[in-house]
Amino acid sequence: MRKVIAVLLLGIFGYYIFALFVNVPFGVRHDNVGQHYLEHSVQETGAVNIVTAIVVSHRGFDTLGEVTVLFLAATGLGAILYDKKGKKRRLQNASLIVKVASKLIYPLIILLGAYVFVHGHLTPGGGFQGGAIIATGVLLMFISYRRFETNHNALSWVESLAGMTFVTIGLAGLIWGTSFLQNILPLGTPNTLLSAGVIPLIYIAVGFKVGAELTALLDNMLKTIK
């Protein structure tokens, strides 16, 4: 009965939503703010990756909010699972092959993550993606080595310092420029590593922060046994 009602409700909802999209042509260029970004962002921000330019510069405030949301999730998780302090991860033995291989891959994954967030303004990627890659590296180590432990103290330092760096860069824009998060550094030549003003700095801070936060999240969740 419950299933029938659910299907009916969703059917009506889906029908109406789809009806809205029927008349919208697919794959056609619309006249919107996106076109402005495509044409002017490189001069305005110095980043050749327009998505990065939008995420960090034009809509940098969203990104600050995004970083906050992750920080919030890590904090909330810490508060909700507080009782689990002093607990350990379930001990399980990975095979020798997994252990050796993951030990070999681990530094490479970290390196890849760092590459992705340092080159956020040039190639697809950025702070969030890089941070997530780093966290997968740590997850691999969690899975294969039962006694692999992260340094909680260092993680929370990295988290807080990276977050404060972001806000400080923003406030610096308010002090030396005209508004919050405004670029105060020279833009440089587009398509080189040292370009795009504060974008790489912000993305490096975000990369560190996301990496540390996701690691802490995983660590918190995996602990189940006293």
Partner 1 sequence: MSLSPVQFIAVPLFAAFLIPLIGKASKETVKLVPGIVLLYLSYVALNLFPRGLERPIVEHIAGFNPPFGITLYYGPLAAFLTTLVTLIGFVIWLYSYKFIIREPFEKYYMLFMLLITGSTGIILTGDIFNMFVFLEITAIAAYSLTAFLRDKDGAEAAFKYLLIGSFSSTFVLLAILLIYMQTGTLNLADIALKMADVPITMKIFILILFITGLGIEAEIFPLNGWAPDAYSQAPSPVGAVFGGIVVKATIYALMRIVYLMFNFHSVLHFFVIMGVITMLIAEMSAMRQHQIKRMLAFSSIGQMGLVIIAFGLGTEPGVRAALFQMFNHALIKTLLFFSAGYLVFHSGSKHISALDGLGRDKPLTSFFFAFGALAIIGLPPFAGFWSKLYILLSVADAHLVTVVVLILISAVIEIVYYLRVVSRLYFKRETATDVRRTPLSGLAAMGILAVVILFVGLYPNTILDWLTPAARELMNTSEYIRTGLHLNSGLLSINF
Partner 2 sequence: MIYYAASILLILIGMYAVLVKKNIIKIVIGLSIIDSGVHLLFIAIGYVKDATAPIYSRPGLEAGQMVDPVPQALVLTAIVIGLAVTAVALSLVIRLYDHHKTLNINRIRKLKW
Residues numbered 107-166 forming contacts with partner 2, rule: CB under 8 A? 122-124, 126, 128
Q: Which amino acid is at 155?
A: L
CB of 102 vs partner 1, minimal distance in Å: 30
Query: Cβ closer to partner 1: 48 or 172?
Result: 172
Specify the stretch interacting with partner 1 by CB under 8 A; choose among 30-38, 111-119, 120-128, 140-148: 30-38
Residue 21, amino acid: F
User: Least distance to partner 1 from the beta carbon of 104, Å?
Assistant: 34
Taking alpha carbons only, the member of 171, 156, 179, 226 closest to residue 202 is 171
Site stretch for partner 2 (CB under 8 A), options 51-59, 139-147, 179-187, 194-202: 51-59
Q: 38 contacts which partner out of partner 2, partner 1, none, CB within 5 to 8 A by kind? A: partner 2
65 binds partner 2 (CB under 8 A): yes
Question: Does residue number 150 form part of the binding site for partner 1 (CB under 8 A)?
Answer: no
Q: Which residues pair with 225 in a beta bridge?
A: 88
Eight-class DSSP state of 146 = T
What stretch of H or E contains 89? strand 88-89
Name residues whose C-beta falls within 8 Å of residue 94's C-beta, 6 or more positions apart in sequence. Answer: 102, 143, 144, 145, 146
As a whole number of angstroms, the distance between CA 163 and CA 211 comes to 12
What sign results for the dihedral spanned by CA atoms 33, 38, 41, 47? positive
Q: Check the CA dihedral 66-55-162-124 and report its sign.
A: positive
Of residues 156 and 191, the one with the C-beta less far from partner 1: 156
Separation between Cα atoms, residue 89 and residue 221, nearest integer Å = 9
Nearest distance in Å: CB 146, partner 2? 20
Site for partner 1 in 53-82 (CB under 8 A): 57-62, 64-66, 68-69, 71-73, 75-80, 82
Question: CB–CB of 109/215 below 8 Å?
Answer: no
Distance CA 150, CA 136 (A): 14
Q: Coil, strand, or helix at residue 143? A: helix
> Any contact of residue 193 with partner 2 (CB under 8 A)?
no
Per-residue x/- track, 103-122, partner 1 (CB under 8 A):
--------------------
Q: Which is nearer to partner 1, 110 or 184 (CB)?
A: 184
Where on the chain is the footprint of partner 1 (CB under 8 A)?
Answer: 16-17, 20, 24, 30-34, 36-37, 44, 57-62, 64-66, 68-69, 71-73, 75-80, 82-83, 153, 156-157, 159-161, 163-164, 167-168, 170-171, 173-175, 177-183
